[in-house]
Structure 1
Amino acid sequence: MSTLRRPVLRTWETSLTDHDSSVRTARRHIRDQLTAWGWSGDRVDDLVLIASELVTNAVVHACQGCGEVRLYLQEFDGDCRLEVWDPRYDLPLQERRPRRFHEGGRGIDLVRQLALDFGVITRRGAGKRVWVRVLLDSRCPP
């Protein structure tokens, strides 16, 4: 992980309800915003998939009746940071060994494979932000 801090070029954020339909809305918002910023290709698809996984986790496991999930994007020179906020402060990144024929339990592993870096920031009373960093431009080193 690099200690060099690059300036944020652009930021974007939105709030979503804690409803299952927010996962589809998050995918659309992320794709639309990155496209508006001029990004395209597989890495945008990766970031949309990651957003889908993280919003699903927030809605299904953390939010249940909390009312709101928030999405944040920060574009740097050649990469992007996505954050998903929910009001609970418990750690979400617990690995599970998925059973062979079960549909769930693979999301965090998928995020690990697609993201350059990821983590969680928690503050009691202020919820948590699960963040990922994705290299959008393969020509720029992390």
Structure 2
Amino acid sequence: MSTLGTPAFRTWEASLTDHCTSVRTARRQLRDLLTSWGWSGERVDDLVLIASELVTNAVVHACRGSGEVRLYLQEFDGDCRFEVWDPRHDLPLHDRHPRRFSECGRGIDLVRQLAFDFGVVTRKGAGKRVWVRMLLDPSATPPPPLAS
């Protein structure tokens, strides 16, 4: 909520390369941004962890030399939607059952557990957007979905 009592609508976007250092860059930028918007504590940590997983997936599995990963964030009065765009149409793997000591295969399940809502939007010729929705106050009654 803004200081005048009216809801605040804020947006942010960034374009990163498909290099592994982009994951660290995304985490840092997102943490700084959310903190400047008044988010704090576990909610920031959760969204930064989610961003780390989604950007890693885009860089490692989806881009493969395409050169670009795009990030989008919009927040309206404590309801946040974060998206990662990549140029491929293949969907994130769901319902994987990694072995006990496997080093991979748990990321999307982690995202699903931490986010209020989660999904993927594909568009012909335009890649895909993997999105998550987080609420600043997880006990609050959720508002209707933010616009795509």
Scaled by the length of structure 1, the TM-score of the pair is: 0.91
User: Are positions 1:115 and 2:144 aligned together?
Assistant: no
Paired with 2:112 and 2:66, the residues of 1 have a C-alpha distance of 27
Note the C-alpha offset of 1:95. 2.7
* Correspondences of 1:48-67 after superposition (within 5 Å): 48-67=48-67
Paired with 1:114 and 1:138, the residues of 2 have a C-alpha distance of 10
Paired with 1:105 and 1:139, the residues of 2 have a C-alpha distance of 29
Secondary structure in structure 1 of the residue aligned to 2:90: coil
Paired with 2:93 and 2:15, the residues of 1 have a C-alpha distance of 22
- The answer to whether the 8 Å contact 1:78/1:140 transfers is no
Note the C-alpha offset of 1:41. 1.0
Q: Which residue of structure 1 lines up, in the alignment, with residue 84 of structure 2?
A: 84
1:34-70 deviation per Cα after TM superposition (whole angstroms, max 9, x unaligned): 0111111101100000000000000011001010001
Paired with 1:111 and 1:139, the residues of 2 have a C-alpha distance of 18
RMSD: 1.4
Give aligned pairs, total.
136
Q: Which residue of structure 2 lines up, in the alignment, with residue 75 of structure 1?
A: 75
Note the C-alpha offset of 1:8. 7.2
Note the C-alpha offset of 1:90. 1.7
Secondary structure in structure 1 of the residue aligned to 2:141: coil
| Consecutive unaligned residues in structure 1, runs of 5 or more | 1-6
Secondary structure in structure 1 of the residue aligned to 2:74: strand
Paired with 1:95 and 1:88, the residues of 2 have a C-alpha distance of 20
**Which shifted more, 93-102 or 69-78?**
93-102
Paired with 1:140 and 1:75, the residues of 2 have a C-alpha distance of 15
Q: Which residue of structure 1 lines up, in the alignment, with residue 41 of structure 2?
A: 41
Note the C-alpha offset of 1:118. 0.6
Note the C-alpha offset of 1:137. 2.1
Note the C-alpha offset of 1:133. 0.2
Q: Which residue of structure 2 lines up, in the alignment, with residue 17 of structure 1?
A: 17
Note the C-alpha offset of 1:94. 2.6
Secondary structure in structure 2 of the residue aligned to 1:94: coil
Paired with 1:49 and 1:9, the residues of 2 have a C-alpha distance of 23
**Which shifted more, 91-100 or 66-75?**
91-100
Scaled by the length of structure 2, the TM-score of the pair is: 0.87
Q: Which residue of structure 1 lines up, in the alignment, with residue 134 of structure 2?
A: 134
Paired with 2:139 and 2:15, the residues of 1 have a C-alpha distance of 32
- The answer to whether the 8 Å contact 2:94/2:109 transfers is no
- The answer to whether the 8 Å contact 1:11/1:75 transfers is yes
